[in-house]
Amino acid sequence: MDFKKQYWDDIFSVKINLKRATFLEAENLKEVLNWEGEQQFKKLIIDLSECIYIDPVFLGVLISSLKKLAGLGGNLKIVLPEVGFNLENNVVKALRIFDTYNSHQEAIDSYKKVFVTPINQNKIVEDVPKSKVLFSM
């Protein structure tokens, strides 16, 4: 198999060690992703940094996996090669639905970012007596 599986905490990653990702390998990838999905991994990274060509069937497996993960509250992120990517125009457009990254580490780090937003932001202003408010919106 030309796929290398790796795990980081709750992140599952598959590195595709192929120059051409075609329909021939798509079924193998589907089996790998379905098995890992059953193991409750909701954060996936597919590393295509070695690929110079992806056919529509292989891309279809990625899109199907993204839909399944999104339904479970998860995500699938793609690492693209830096140069030499030879894609058909429809494949390029389809890749836009994914979060894409230039390196594997960048994709891992993106899962680790935590966004904190203030709770009841409007409530803070409401609790201040009108005489103490210096400005209002």
What does 112-133 look like in DSSP terms, one character per residue? Answer: H------TTHHHHHHHS-GGG-
Does the pTM surpass 0.95? The reply is no
Look at domain 3-132 and name its CATH class: alpha beta
User: Which tens digits make up the pLDDT trace of 39-97?
Assistant: 778 999 999 999 888 888 999 999 999 998 999 899 999 998 876 566 655 666 777 88
- Would you mind telling me the total number of residues written for the chain in this entry? 137
How is the chain split into domains, by residue range?
A: 3-132
Q: Is pLDDT larger for residue 32 or for residue 93? A: 32
Alpha-carbon torsion angle 51, 57, 61, 64, nearest 10: 130
List the one residue out of 58, 45, 67 whose CA is nearest residue 88.
58
Between vectors from CA 110 to CA 53 and to CA 32, what angle results, nearest 5°?
A: 50
